[in-house]
């Protein structure tokens, strides 16, 4: 049974794990949330790379066969450093999200080469500032507009996932974004956003936009499943098992984690990565 290491700065990456479970049920998962040092968004590239490499080495030492960087900021700013630091394959969230946007647009019969269709990426301020989605989309012939939605993470963490205030904030962000682009696909470029995907889709329709909503967490799970498939056949009889580590705030992790994972959280072990 393969061992999959999943890393995020917090518990948002649990939405990637949630998407992985039905696709790769026969695995042992080791999840690490670096909660003591979040948010990564406000930190410099060097600091983020150092933190992410420490986390990746920890997961490799826990016998991970593959590493999923379920964190947009760490993927945007440290993917190459992580790949250089470990011996196992590493999957990030950004290329799968951009590729999924490309695929849904092509599936709608639109010629990407002829029209360079527009994609709207909703993300945190740090991910937007990195322009990692812009670069990944450009490589696929897509024109991305990246929009920071700083209030959506705190609203999800407050538990207001089905709440009139959250719907109003989404409407404000999207109505502004739609004055700047006419997207064929909207990428949820933050691991918290799958919990409000339905509200984001409803707001797009109300604003007269028929873009397909692409969940980068789900796309990452699919990319991981494909990459694992190349490593040998699955054994469908074995159920998934879990270990979960956090560097601080174990109580909050345990409480909010169930909401993100969509099932009861395993016990969360406090881990000291230093500094």
| Of 154 and 229, CB closest to a copy of itself | 154
Structure tokens at 116: 């360079």
* CA–CA dist 271, 248 (Å, integer): 7
The verdict on 168 binding a copy of itself (CB under 8 A) reads yes
Residues in binding contact with a copy of itself, number by CB under 8 A: 25
The verdict on 43 binding a copy of itself (CB under 8 A) reads yes
Among 110, 172, 207, 238, binds a copy of itself (CB under 8 A): 172
Relative to beta strand 185-188, strand 241-246 is unpaired
Please confirm, yes or no, whether 209 is among the known catalytic residues.
no
The verdict on 124 binding a copy of itself (CB under 8 A) reads no
The verdict on 206 binding a copy of itself (CB under 8 A) reads no
Residue numbers belonging to the annotated binding site for substrate: 8-9, 40-41, 72-73, 191-192
Do residues 49 and 81 lie in contact, with contact meaning Cβ atoms separated by under 8 Å? yes
Structure tokens at 108: 């709608």
Do residues 64 and 39 lie in contact, with contact meaning Cβ atoms separated by under 8 Å? no
Among 53, 151, 202, 273, binds a copy of itself (CB under 8 A): 151
The verdict on 45 binding a copy of itself (CB under 8 A) reads no
Helix (H) or strand (E) holding 35: none
The verdict on 42 binding a copy of itself (CB under 8 A) reads yes
Smallest distance, a copy of itself to C-beta of residue 247, A = 9
Distances (CA, A) of 41 to 65, 77, 190, 248: 28, 10, 12, 17
Total residue length of the chain: 275
Structure tokens at 68: 């999923």
Angle at 88 between CA 60 and CA 33, to 5 degrees: 45
**Binding residues for a copy of itself (CB under 8 A):** 35-36, 38-39, 42-44, 47, 150-151, 153-155, 157-158, 164-165, 168-169, 172, 248-249, 252, 274-275
Q: Which residues are catalytic?
A: 71, 190
């Amino acid at each position: 049974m393969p061992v999959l290491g999943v890393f995020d700065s917090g518990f948002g990456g649990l939405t990637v794990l949630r998407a992985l479970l039905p696709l790769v049920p026969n695995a042992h998962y080791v999840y690490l949330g670096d909660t003591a040092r979040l948010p990564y968004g406000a930190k410099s590239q060097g600091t983020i790379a150092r933190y992410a490499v420490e986390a990746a080495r920890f997961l490799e030492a826990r016998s991970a066969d593959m590493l999923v960087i379920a964190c947009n900021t760490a993927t945007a700013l440290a993917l190459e450093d992580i790949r250089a630091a470990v011996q196992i394959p590493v999957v990030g969230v950004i290329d799968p999200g951009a590729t999924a946007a490309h695929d849904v647009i092509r599936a709608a019969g639109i010629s990407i080469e002829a029209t360079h269709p527009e994609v709207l990426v909703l993300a945190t301020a740090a991910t937007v500032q990195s322009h990692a989605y812009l670069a990944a989309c450009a490589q696929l012939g897509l024109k991305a507009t990246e929009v920071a939605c700083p209030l959506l993470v705190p609203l999800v963490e407050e538990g207001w996932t089905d709440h009139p205030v959250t719907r109003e904030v989404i409407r404000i962000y999207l109505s502004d974004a739609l004055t700047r682009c006419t997207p064929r696909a909207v990428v949820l470029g933050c691991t918290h956003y799958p919990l409000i995907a339905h509200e984001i889709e409803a707001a797009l329709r109300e604003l007269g936009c028929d873009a397909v909503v692409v969940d980068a967490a789900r796309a990452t799970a699919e990319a991981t499943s494909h990459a694992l498939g190349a490593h040998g056949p699955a054994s469908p009889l074995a159920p998934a098992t879990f270990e979960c580590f956090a560097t601080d705030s174990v109580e909050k992790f345990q409480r909010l984690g169930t909401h993100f994972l969509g099932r009861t959280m395993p016990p969360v072990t406090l881990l000291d990565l230093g500094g």
